[in-house]
Amino acid sequence: MNIIPRAFVPVLLAQALVCQAGWSVPAAEPNLNSTAADSGVNLSYDGLTLYFSSFRSGNWEIWSSTRSGPGGAWSSPVQETGLGGPDTEDQPCIDVTGLEMLFSSTRAGGAGSSDLWRSTRATPSSPWNTPVPVSELNSSVADSAPSLTADGLEVFFYSTGWGNPSGNNNSLFTATRASTALPFGTPQLVVEFSNSNTHRDCDIAADGLSIVFTEFVSPRLKVLYSERLSRTSPWAPPVVWTEFDTVGASLGVYSFTRSAAGNEALLAAGFPTSAGGQEILSTAFTGLTHAGAAGFGSVMTIYYRDPLNAGQPFALGAALGNTGFALGARIVPLDPDWLLLGTFGTSVPGYTSGWGGVLGAGGEATASLTNLSPAFVGLSFWVGGLTWDNSQPFGVGTIANAFQVQFQ
């Protein structure tokens, strides 16, 4: 669907594009918070259950809450008693099936001061089986904050063991396996993120192509984000999500979890002891997010969210670069090249769908991208988008962020 004649696209881009993507101001979730500390958030893959750790019982234990749909009210939390004990249970991670839970614990039977444990259950409503240590991931010191990819073949976690180069300050490690029926291999340091700082939490995306983690950068914890083009590619240098630099009154953001679409998140931030110490908040992303690899035989789903412009037309486009160019204080996020002219607001048969249309009632749209030709494997380009709005200068409303894609 062509939203506007292509001849006008370069003119509009040159005069009006400025990226307006970003996270909303986090809002407290009163149904989830108690007068004690609440932290270690982990959202299920369907977005309907939140698992987190809480000190409301007088000990760190794992709790859960449910809702009917994204954006809905959370139910009163209940303790996952099958995972509990007299020691600390923290930083839960539910798998894609909802039948397996990884978490951190100081309970007896592990290998170090804090270890990774696993529990399974027969159905999402069944009780949890007795947890067992994930022996292949545990070191003789502290291991914590596990996060799984949706296929269950890669796990990320923090450790002060496994040859950690940062001493008592933990580092991010990863381990892989060929099947969920097999144990993980030996954990490996994620060298791209290795430094002397300490860290609290990590959240790997379902597709394993992006990660969010919290790192102490004096004087507080920061939220950092990185992407990689494939599961075997190196991680890009992490960037600080500055929207969260001032969240919380004490130390900053401890933990962070995203929806499968990547455009909704819950986080736990530090607050005065009188307010519980740590509280859970929610936030949502305006702009483009994505899930899955765009490959020969695989499809990337692209999510565009612009809640203030529901019912307005939108257009996505691809360009070979994102160098852009300055327009006063503004920067064009996509290069106005031949690829942009051929894809802007247009679904290319067999490769793209939903790249132009009208935003739904919630200001949301879903599109897709795939690769039909082995000859294009390895081709890299950038994807961006905008919302049209005749009440704004040049008819352009929100301008989304751009992200890099490599055809697989």
Per-residue pLDDT of the chain (408 residues; tens, 9 = 90+): 333 333 333 333 333 334 578 999 999 999 999 999 999 999 999 999 999 999 999 999 999 999 999 989 999 999 999 999 999 999 999 999 999 999 999 999 999 999 999 999 999 999 999 999 999 999 999 999 999 999 999 999 999 999 999 999 999 999 999 999 999 999 999 999 999 999 999 999 999 999 999 999 999 999 999 999 999 999 999 999 999 999 998 899 999 999 999 999 999 999 988 778 999 999 999 999 999 999 999 999 999 999 999 999 999 999 999 987 654 455 668 999 999 999 999 999 999 999 999 999 999 999 999 999 999 999 999 999 999 998 887 787 888 999 999 999
E strand or H helix at 339, and its extent?
helix 338-343
Determine phi and psi for 96, rounding to 5 degrees: -65, -25
* CA distance from start to end of the chain: 26
pLDDT at 332: 60
CB atoms within 10 A of CB 320: 15
pLDDT at 13: 36
Per CATH, which fold does 34-275 belong to? Neuraminidase (2.120.10)
Question: 113: burial class by Cβ within 10 Å (0-12, 13-18, 19+)?
Answer: middle
Tokens of 243: 């929207």
Q: What is the CATH number of domain 6-21+292-406?
A: 2.60.40
Residues of the chain with CATH 2.120.10.30: 34-275
Residues of the chain with CATH 2.60.40: 6-21+292-406
Tokens of 332: 């064009």
Residue type at 216 in one-letter notation: F
Report d(CA 49, CA 42) in Å as an integer: 9
Report d(CA 55, CA 36) in Å as an integer: 6
- Non-local (6+) Cβ contacts of 202 within 8 A are 145, 147, 156, 157, 158, 172, 211, 212, 213, 214
Q: What is the DSSP letter of 180?
A: T
Report d(CA 398, CA 385) in Å as an integer: 9
pLDDT at 276: 84
